[in-house]
């Protein structure tokens, strides 16, 4: 049977009007509804007023739900308090939520929307570069659990995602670099000619050049939307060996994330942003790919040059490999029980990744330790 969702394209719009057209886009997607604006504190200060006034102009009377931002608040406790506030304010199945903030707020607000009364619509308004090219579209919601990042979550497609590049003017350089890592990932997956055109414009993107931002955010969203449309629930690589090899589907978007997620929550090291962790994860995946004969050495150099130019971290944090290996093997991408394997997304060439099953035992091996500690044979 054909999955209806897969024939239904992901809806998003990339604008540059400081969210003045937000109300119009929301209305097109939701019609008239009781809406709640779930907003990160920072995003509220920066973009709350414009968003509220645009929503009011479109006929909405939004209820405001301000939340603390940051990975440590992306928890069930925050969701529970949001559920309570929503129910107290009369939110029901005829209502909808609009999430305004970085990826953390988008993930959390859409998780709350997907579970409130078995699911109410959500509109994503991502305000960081990272969330505009990644977290804000695709419909994965999530909260963290003591055992790992994003371990609890749902698939809940936003009615529309509205990315306004003007809100990026206030983003710190570090957060721009974090978003750049996900852009590099998308460009890698998108392949040529986008890859070469994109890397030529990286500096323009950092300087918030409007034309370059509009072009590149749209392109990266298109790349993600295409993958999500063919494999919305990440089932292509599930269960059977069918997904191993040529048809990774949505799992391809996890390029850099296996090591990345482990480093992001690793205690005792300098806190990494999501993008910094993903950049290190892509460097590591390329080195492992070379070790296992999946890619040529030239690919490592090509990828590392781009990550260096983007001023993303070069060195793996000084922490015992066994701790990293342990964190990796609790990752939700582990298959086949505790002694099973991880499906690692390894780069083969620009535009092509391969899913390679790597056993928990191999991950704990000296070979992997050597790649982490010395960069492997390279
Ligand atoms: N659901 C998905 O498919 C998906 C994909 C990628 C990442 N994620 C999740 O997204 C999160 C990371 O997202 P993020 O990088 O946006 O981090 P974030 O949400 O923590 O935001 C980073 C910081 O930027 C600030 N901020 C937000 N908008 C701003 C603006 N316009 N100007 C200035 N500061 C602003 C916030 O206050 C915060 O301090 C992680 O939790 C990750 O797991 C989800
Ligand atoms: Zn990511």
- Tell me the average pLDDT of the chain: 91
Q: Are 236 and 253 in contact (CB under 8 A)?
A: no
Taking alpha carbons only, the member of 55, 225, 265 closest to residue 142 is 265
Beta strands in 108-215 (DSSP E): 122-126, 143-145, 148-152, 160-164
Q: Cβ contacts of residue 99 below 8 Å, gap of 6+?
A: 38, 39, 105, 106, 108, 109, 110, 113, 122, 123, 124, 125, 126
Mutation probe of ligand 1 site: the residue of 66, 73, 103, 127 with most atoms within 8 A of C-beta: 103
Please, which pLDDT band fits residue 62 given cuts at 50, 70 and 90?
A: very high
Query: How many angstroms is it from 300 CA to the middle of ligand 1?
Result: 28
Lowest pLDDT segment from 40-44, 110-114, 295-299: 40-44
Per residue in 171-227, pLDDT (tens digit) is 999 999 999 999 999 999 999 999 999 999 999 999 999 999 999 999 999 999 988
Q: What angle do the packed helices 173-190 and 274-291 form, to 10 degrees?
A: 40
Query: How many angstroms is it from 101 CA to the middle of ligand 1?
Result: 7
73-to-84, 116, 118, 139, 201 alpha-carbon distances in Å: 16, 19, 23, 20, 35
Is a pLDDT exceeding 50 seen at residue 3? no
Nearest CA to ligand 1 atom 8: 135
Q: Name the percent of the chain in helix, strand, coil, to the closest 5.
A: 50, 15, 30
118-to-93, 112, 121, 216 alpha-carbon distances in Å: 8, 10, 10, 36
Per residue in 142-151, pLDDT (tens digit) is 999 887 778 8
- Res 93: pLDDT: 95
The encoded tokens of residue 161 equal: 């995602």
Specify whether domain 4-171 bears CATH 3.40.50.1970. Answer: yes
Lowest pLDDT segment from 43-52, 55-64, 196-205, 297-306: 43-52
Percent of the chain whose pLDDT exceeds 90: 77
- Res 25: pLDDT: 98
Is a pLDDT exceeding 60 seen at residue 48? yes
Chain-centre distance for alpha carbon 253: 8
217-to-90, 242, 275 alpha-carbon distances in Å: 36, 32, 15
Ligand 1 atom with the shortest distance to the CA of 47: 31
Pocket residues: Cβ below 6 A from ligand 1: 40, 42-43, 46, 69-71, 74, 101-105, 107, 127-128, 130-131, 134-135, 138, 140, 142, 150, 167, 170-171, 175, 178, 273-274
- Res 237: pLDDT: 65
The DSSP 8-state label assigned to residue 90 in this structure reads: T
Residues of the chain with CATH 1.20.1090.10: 233-374
Strand-pair partners of 13: 162
Taking alpha carbons only, the member of 293, 286, 352, 346 closest to residue 316 is 286
Taking alpha carbons only, the member of 83, 91, 82, 75 closest to residue 33 is 91
Ligand 1 atom with the shortest distance to the CA of 40: 37
Highest average pLDDT, of 3-7, 25-29, 333-337, 354-358, comes from 25-29
Query: How many angstroms is it from 106 CA to the middle of ligand 1?
Result: 8
Please, which pLDDT band fits residue 340 given cuts at 50, 70 and 90?
A: confident
Chain-centre distance for alpha carbon 29: 22
Per residue in 226-283, pLDDT (tens digit) is 888 877 777 766 654 444 445 678 889 999 999 999 998 888 888 999 999 999 999 9
Is a pLDDT exceeding 50 seen at residue 122? yes
- Res 232: pLDDT: 79
The encoded tokens of residue 185 equal: 């990932």
Which-ligand-closest: CA of 179? 1
Q: Are 354 and 247 in contact (CB under 8 A)?
A: no
Coil, helix or strand for 3? Answer: coil
Strand-pair partners of 164: 15
Is a pLDDT exceeding 90 seen at residue 311? yes
The encoded tokens of residue 41 equal: 């504190």
The encoded tokens of residue 288 equal: 């492992």
- The CA distance from 378 to 252, in Å, is 25
Please, which pLDDT band fits residue 64 given cuts at 50, 70 and 90?
A: very high
Mutation probe of ligand 1 site: the residue of 12, 130, 149, 281 with most atoms within 8 A of C-beta: 130
Coil, helix or strand for 343? Answer: strand
Residues of the chain with CATH 3.40.50.1970: 4-171
- Fold of the domain spanning 233-374: Dehydroquinate synthase-like, alpha domain (1.20.1090)
Q: What is the mean pLDDT of residues 154-168?
A: 97
Mutation probe of ligand 1 site: the residue of 68, 73, 131 with most atoms within 8 A of C-beta: 131
């Amino acid at each position: 049977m054909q999955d209806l969702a897969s024939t239904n394209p992901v809806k998003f719009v990339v604008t540059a009007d400081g969210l003045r057209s937000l109300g119009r886009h929301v209305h097109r997607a939701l019609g008239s509804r009781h809406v709640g604006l779930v907003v990160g504190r920072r995003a509220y200060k920066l973009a709350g007023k414009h968003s509220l006034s645009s929503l009011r102009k479109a006929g909405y009377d939004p209820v405001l739900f301000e939340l603390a931002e940051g990975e440590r608040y992306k928890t069930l406790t925050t969701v529970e308090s949001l559920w309570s506030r929503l129910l107290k304010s009369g939110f029901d199945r005829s209502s909808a939520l609009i999430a305004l903030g970085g990826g953390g707020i988008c993930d959390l607000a859409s998780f709350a929307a997907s579970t409130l009364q078995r699911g109410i619509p959500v509109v994503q308004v991502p305000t960081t570069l990272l969330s505009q090219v990644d977290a804000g579209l695709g419909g994965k919601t999530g909260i963290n659990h003591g055992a790992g990042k994003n371990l609890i979550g749902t698939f809940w497609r936003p009615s529309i995602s509205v990315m306004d590049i003007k809100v990026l003017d206030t983003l710190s350089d570090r957060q721009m670099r974090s978003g750049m890592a996900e852009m590099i990932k998308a460009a890698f997956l998108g392949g040529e000619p986008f890859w070469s055109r994109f890397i030529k414009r990286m500096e323009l993107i950092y300087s918030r050049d409007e034309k370059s931002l509009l072009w590149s955010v749209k392109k990266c969203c298109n790349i993600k939307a295409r993958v999500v449309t063919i494999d919305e629930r990440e089932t292509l690589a599930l269960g059977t060996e069918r997904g191993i090899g040529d048809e990774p589907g949505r799992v391809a978007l996890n390029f850099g994330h296996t090591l990345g997620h482990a480093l992001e929550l690793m205690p005792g090291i300098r806190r990494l942003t999501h993008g910094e962790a993903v950049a290190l994860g892509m460097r590591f995946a390329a080195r492992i790919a070379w070790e296992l004969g999946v890619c040529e050495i030239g690919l490592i150099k090509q990828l590392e040059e781009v990550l260096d130019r983007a001023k993303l971290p070069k060195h793996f944090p000084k922490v015992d490999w066994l701790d990293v290996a342990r964190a990796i093997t609790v990752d939700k991408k582990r298959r086949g029980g505790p002694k099973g394997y991880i499906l690692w997304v390894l780069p083969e060439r620009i535009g092509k990744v391969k899913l390679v099953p790597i056993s928990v035992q191999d991950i704990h091996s000296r070979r992997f330790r050597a790649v982490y500690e010395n960069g492997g044979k390279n």
